[in-house]
Amino acid sequence: MEQLFSLLDSTIRVATPLVLAALAGMFSERSGVVDIGLEGKMLVAAFAAAAAAFVTHSPWLGLLAGIMASVSLAMVHAFVSVTYNGNQLISGMAINTIASGITPVLGLAWFQQGGNTPQLDDDSRFHDISLPFADALSNVPVIGHLYSKLLSGHSILVYLTILIIPVVSWVVYRSRFGLRLRAVGENPHAADTAGVSVARVRYIALFWGGVLCGVAGTFLSVYQTGSFIKEMTAGKGFLALAALIFGKWRPLPAVLGCLLFAFADASQIRLEGVDLPIVGQIPSQAIQVIPYVLTVLLLAGFVGRAVAPKAIGVPFVKSR
């Protein structure tokens, strides 16, 4: 039971940046803009957050810096894809390439630590929060264990993510902006005829996507590792995009996809060095690819049934 709760606890931590990135991609792609630059925005946010937190000794200023860096790249993507109707895939790949190159260069120039940032002290990091009565309920069977060992003891960014999920669902399906977002992603010409500014909706969608990627990147550097490490996102942006496709561009199914990938990732950490029946110890390299193999298998089974927003990736030219 202890191992199960430990595994589920790790799943929540690993899933947090995936969920944030998937919801960011959902905003963008629901508006009709392909966003494969999630990885780059997370990476730049992780660097900016770690650097700012190290200099200011404030994790909150680090979070602000991470969000600003991510939003800046999101606005570049919007400028290329929305204002000038550029190729959205190339723009996203350019963002990933820029982020992969500029973060170690700046890290080396500013901190002289091989492209990484220095380890943050305790005051500069987000820490785990113990929920009320967690210690008192720790001995209560099942419910107490769920509360004290699974729900309690996470960073404030984890709890913020849990709150963001229903808010995003409400925005997409219940708010006026959500209606316009879905209309622009399905039929931008009809939305434009109805008086909706397609460019404005897409810019707003990409802005909030940048905010969420900024929080995800900050989680990785200012909370999870305590510093920026080169290429520390390690494909999480692409995993989030896969979870979004798996969830058919809907918030809650996408979150479930992220939890599934995170569970596979958390499991592979615990399989290293363990003797399994018949096969014995599995090489660490084979274990590390488990989440990515799962991604391929799931997409192979579901991507054919997932119907993307009809206008996704299609440049919008306003009728005269």
pLDDT in tens, 142-152: 777 787 777 88
- pLDDT at residue 273 is higher than 80: no
Determine, yes or no, domain membership for 312.
no
Average pLDDT over residues 114-119: 91
Average pLDDT of span 96-106? 94
pLDDT average, residue stretch 143-170:
89
pTM: 0.92
Task: Find the mean pLDDT for residues 182-210.
Answer: 94
Rounded mean pLDDT, 97-121: 93
Between the alpha carbon of residue 154 and those of residues 11, 75, 106, the distances in Å are 12, 31, 31
The predicted model gives 59-82 an average pLDDT of 96
Mean pLDDT to the nearest integer, 177-203 = 94
Asked whether residue 52 is assigned to any structural domain, the reply reads yes
115 part of a folded domain: yes
Average pLDDT over residues 110-116: 89
- The answer to whether position 317 is within a domain reads no
Assign 68 to helix, strand or coil. helix
- What's residue 51's pLDDT? 96
Asked if 32 contacts 99 with a C-beta cutoff of 8 angstroms, the reply is no
Q: How many domains does the chain have?
A: 1
Q: 188-210: string of b/e by CB count within 10 Å (b at 16+)?
A: beebbeeebebeebbbbbbebbb
Helix runs in the chain, H state only: 2-30, 38-56, 59-78, 88-111, 143-145, 156-174, 176-186, 188-193, 198-218, 236-246, 251-271, 284-288, 290-302
Residue 71, pLDDT score: 97
pLDDT band for position 23 (50/70/90)? very high
How many Cβ atoms sit within 10 Å of the Cβ of residue 70? 33
The pLDDT of residue 317 is 79
In a domain, residue 145? The reply is yes
In this structure, is residue 313 part of a structural domain?
no
Domain contains 41? yes
pLDDT at position 136: 75
What b-and-e string marks burial along 211-249, b requiring 16 or more CB atoms within 10 Å of the CB? bbbbbbbbbbbbbbbbbbbeebbeebbbbbbbbbbbbeb
Q: Which residue has the higher pLDDT, 57 or 130?
A: 57
Does residue 286 form part of some domain? yes
| Phi-psi map region of 132: left, alpha, beta (phi>0 left; psi -120 to 50 alpha) | beta
Q: What is the CATH number of the domain that holds 230?
A: 1.10.3470
Structure tokens at 284: 């660490």
Write out the residue range of the structural domain in which residue 153 sits: 2-302
Confidence check: pLDDT of 288 > 60: yes
